[in-house]
Amino acid sequence: MGGSIAGAAVGKKGIWVGGIIGGLVGASISSWTAAKLGWIANSQRARTTIGTIIGFLIAAAIAVNTLSSPVGPIASTVLAGLGAVIGAGRKPRDEE
């Protein structure tokens, strides 16, 4: 949301670009925060970030293409979290 707000100063295209960049930054920060809080192992952080980014990009594509219906944008919100979970995989045994 913050990226979209900042991008709005540039115009309509800036809203979309800002939203995407803001989402990518948010995905990275969320993985870092999860590692710092001990929710994931440090060794899982990169995979979690990649999974979150992929999930977010898929969600953004679905949301943009289904704006005429509330179902697509709402349902797509779960994809970033699902990407994070898939990316993180199982916690390594030596770090449990």
- pLDDT tens over the chain, length 96 residues: 666 667 667 777 777 788 788 888 888 898 999 999 988 888 888 999 999 899 888 888 887 788 788 877 777 778 888 888 888 887 665 555
> Model's pTM, two decimal places?
0.77
The residue range of the domain holding 66 is 2-95
Compute the residue count for the chain: 96
Residue where the block lists tokens 């979209």 = 4
61 three-class SS: helix
Please state the domain count of the chain.
Answer: 1
